[in-house]
Amino acid sequence: MSKPDLIPNLFRTEYQKIVSVLIYLFGIEYIEIAEDIVSDTFLSATELWATKGIPENPTGWLYTVAKNKTRNYIKRHKFFEEKLVATLKTNETISKEIEIDLSVKNIADSQLAMIFTVCNPVISSDSQVALALNLLCGFGVQEIADAFLTNKEVVYKRINRAKEKLKEAKITIEQPSLSQITARLDNVLKTLYLLYSEGYYSTSKNIPLRKELCEEAMRLTLLLAGNNAANTPEVNALMALMSFHSSRFDARFSDAGDAILYQDQDENLWNQELIETGLYFLDRSSRGDHLSKYHCEAGIAYWHTRKADSPDKWENILRLYDQLLLIEYSPTAALNRLFALSKVKGKRKAIAEAEKLNLTDNVFYYSLLGNLYTNVNDSKALSNYKAALNLSASNADKATIQKNIEVLKIKMAN
């Protein structure tokens, strides 16, 4: 990893871990103090590493400095120390030195407690997800706005309002009970799904694939799967979905950064170990009688790891999309279904259904129509690809669309 990339990547992976431990230690009313301490830790890293060089163990350095800054803060604020020590005392014995435990186990315990604390019904569903993405996943306000298809001001207000409501309600951070897991798991999974989706197709930066976000989503989902009470079929289905998608990462882009369409991917680049992991979690997800959107999407992703273009494959994918749309309709799922429909019932049938959607502000709508019209009506295919090009904000997408336009122009000229 290059030096310029190191601190942003450490911020993404370690910031939320340290913040979770400190909030778990301090209490929900001290969210801002925890964030300030960790932000100051990263500021020190930025300043010192630029002049003195990167330490041998950057993560260990961050943890040590965060611990020291926490202890210094507690010592400087006597009222805070008295309150915190009183809260932590056991058997009338007060520890003189408060332990800031940044072990792997305590980080996992802290994050599990935090994600179910944040997803509390005292705040709205959208605010729960926004706050969890911010505190537990290291998302910036702009990234959350992109994930919600809204603006920064709305997200900023949601996050601040959510923090205030949790403080007003005097919510205690603790390991979630079975009833809390049952009540809040939907929003927890929605948060992790959004995090993975932002990495799988990044909208906030001109980077089409951000593996570190996908890895973080998988880490937190594994955290749920490792807890007996939270290890539900839906959690396992989401883990299967992420594993299947991640298995094809190395085949999705060329060395030059150009997107490679599914049908053109080199199967030898697919990660068989991740496919096996997906199968393991898909099997675990079947131990129940409830079919969730994650089950359907995991099934679709599974069939995409089967390269052979058989009718059976696309019929299964189409059936799963039909079930998915009944469970939770979305324009994206409706569009993706149409490619499977074209494989099963032909392009003309898919075109007729696509044009009923009329998603005229969606780049993927026009890209799909360009694909469907190719060899059916090349002139219409060209006009749709041009419309997609005008809407595209991603360099990788623009390159792929432009390539399709050039191929069509050559074909039409001959």
Q: What is the pLDDT of residues 93-106, one digit of tens each?
A: 344 456 788 998 89
Same domain flag for 117 and 214: yes
Q: Got the DSSP string for 87-137? A: HH-BTTB--SS------HHHHHHHHHHHHHHHS-TTS-HHHHHHHHHHHHH
Helices (H), 203-232: 211-225
Three-state secondary structure readout of 160-184: HHHHHHHHHCCCCCCCCCHHHHHHH
Same domain flag for 120 and 49: no
Instruction: Determine the Cα–Cα distance for residues 354 and 389; give it in Å rounded to an integer.
Output: 18
Give the sign of the dihedral formed by CA 386, CA 391, CA 397, CA 399. positive
In a domain, 132, yes or no: yes
Instruction: Determine the Cα–Cα distance for residues 283 and 302; give it in Å rounded to an integer.
Output: 12
As a dihedral over the C-alpha atoms of residue 365, residue 126, residue 114, residue 59, rounded to 10 degrees, the angle is 40
Instruction: Tell me how crowded residue 9 is: count the other CB atoms within 10 A of its CB.
Output: 13
In a domain, 340, yes or no: no
Would you mind telling me the total number of residues written for the chain in this entry? 414
Same domain flag for 95 and 128: no
Same domain flag for 117 and 211: yes
Domain boundary among the residues 170, 197, 228 is at 228
Domain boundary among the residues 57, 76, 102 is at 102
In a domain, 211, yes or no: yes
Exposure string for 132-167, b = 16+ CB within 10 A, e = fewer: bbbbbbbbebebbbbbbeeeeeebbebbeebbebbe
Same domain flag for 117 and 33: no
Domain boundary among the residues 228, 250, 280 is at 228
Instruction: Give the pLDDT score at 85.
Output: 61
Q: Are 281 and 258 in contact (CB under 8 A)?
A: no
Instruction: Give the pLDDT score at 367.
Output: 93
In a domain, 55, yes or no: yes
Instruction: Give the 3-state secondary structure percentages of the chain, helix then strand then coil, rounded to 5.
Output: 75, 0, 25
Q: Which residues pair with 342 in a beta bridge?
A: none
Instruction: Give the pLDDT score at 395.
Output: 78
Instruction: Determine the Cα–Cα distance for residues 13 and 59; give it in Å rounded to an integer.
Output: 10
Q: Are 30 and 23 in contact (CB under 8 A)?
A: yes
Q: Are 334 and 361 in contact (CB under 8 A)?
A: no
Same domain flag for 159 and 66: no
In a domain, 62, yes or no: yes
Same domain flag for 97 and 133: no
Same domain flag for 125 and 216: yes
Q: Which single residue is written with the structure tokens 């965060």?
A: 66
Q: Are 213 and 139 in contact (CB under 8 A)?
A: no
Same domain flag for 151 and 138: yes
Q: Are 409 and 401 in contact (CB under 8 A)?
A: no
The two tokens of residue 153 are: 């001001």
Q: Are 188 and 132 in contact (CB under 8 A)?
A: yes
Instruction: Give the pLDDT score at 385.
Output: 93
In a domain, 260, yes or no: no
Same domain flag for 32 and 69: yes
Smallest CA-to-CA distance from 199 within 212, 189, 182 is with 212
In a domain, 244, yes or no: no
Q: What pTM was estimated for this model as a whole? A: 0.83
| Rg of the chain in Å (alpha carbons) | 24
Q: Which residues pair with 253 in a beta bridge?
A: 259
Same domain flag for 109 and 187: yes
In a domain, 43, yes or no: yes
66 Cβ contact list (under 8 Å, min separation 6): 18, 22, 37, 38, 41, 100, 102
Residues of the chain with pLDDT under 70: 1-4, 78-98, 202-208
Same domain flag for 116 and 221: yes
Instruction: Determine the Cα–Cα distance for residues 120 and 5; give it in Å rounded to an integer.
Output: 35
- Give residue 4's identity as a one-letter amino acid code: P
- Cα–Cα distance list, 400 to 366, 403, 407 (Å): 13, 5, 11
* Parent domain of 4: 1-102
Helix (H) or strand (E) holding 265: none
Domain count, the chain: 2
- Distance in angstroms between the alpha carbons of the first and the last residue of the chain: 47
